[in-house]
Amino acid sequence: MNFIVVGCGRVGAELAYRLFQTGHQVVVVDNNQKAFNRLHPDFRGRTTEGEALSSDTLERAGIEKADGVAIVTNSDTMNAVVGHAVRTHYPNVQQIIVRNYDPAMRQMLEAFGLQIVSSTAWGAERLQELLIDPSFRAVFSAGNGEVELYEITITPNWDGKQVSDIMSASKDCVAVALTRAGRAEMPSPDAKLQMDDILTVSATLDGVKALRTCLVKG
């Protein structure tokens, strides 16, 4: 597939190299030639120097044949404007993803209806979860971490209780899998838990807080 990465900072350089490593055609765009020095020495994609707001720059980068564009500069305003311009003028591009650098600017980006990855907010939420309780292991994050999948190991004080007993802690939690002795199944509300079972739940941050409280109380 053909991808364009706009912005060759640390995030852009890392993304470009990862895409290249997995066999994709990658073009990196930046208005500063020296920024390309951040690219991995083994990177064999193309680089295009120029302003991303310029149609000439995007066309030199191959926007007409691009399957996806990631706009990852450290300017949220730039990311929003470039993302909107690509979506408006190049309908052939199937995936347009923009980076949110400052969480305070997230609503502005959302107003453009763009797919957003907020590395700052997502990272802060992961750190918060690990500091509070590392026993809740996040295995999948949807959006920017608003909803996640967690694996919870059942402790002795929950042995013999039902899945519904835990799920009643919050409406923001849903049990999606129960793994016992390496075999997973879709759990029914009345399924009985056993010590060392792994219960996988989909939950918001508020839902996880409620689950922690419920599990501590037993």
Tokens of 165: 């007993």
CB of 7 closer than 8 Å to CB of 29: yes
Residues 10 and 104 in one domain: yes
User: Does the pLDDT at position 24 exceed 90?
Assistant: yes
What is the per-residue pLDDT across 41-80, written as a single tens digit (0 to 9) for each?
999 999 999 999 999 999 999 999 999 999 999 999 999 9
pLDDT tens, residue by residue, 133-167: 666 777 787 876 788 888 888 888 888 999 998 88
End-to-end CA distance of the chain: 51
Asked which of 93, 119, 145 is the last residue of a domain, the reply is 119
pTM score, whole prediction? 0.67
Last residue of a domain, one of 59, 85, 119: 119
pLDDT confidence bin for 129, thresholds 50/70/90: low
Query: Is pLDDT at 124 greater than 90 in this prediction?
Result: no
- Residue 145 belongs to domain with CATH number: 3.30.70.1450
* Domain end position, chosen among 119, 140, 156: 119
The answer on 90 and 143 residing in a single domain is no
8 Å CB contact between 7 and 71: yes
Q: Do 160 and 207 share a structural domain?
A: yes
DSSP, collapsed to helix, strand or coil, labels residue 105 as: helix
Task: For strands 147-153 and 198-203, give the pairing.
Answer: antiparallel
Instruction: Say whether both 93 and 48 belong to one domain.
Output: yes
- CATH code for the domain of 77: 3.40.50.720
Same domain, 106 and 22: yes
Across 157-184, average pLDDT:
90
Identify whether residues 139 and 194 lie together within a single domain.
yes
**Can you give the residue range of the structural domain that contains 26?**
2-119
Same domain, 114 and 15: yes
Q: How many domains would you assign to the chain?
A: 2
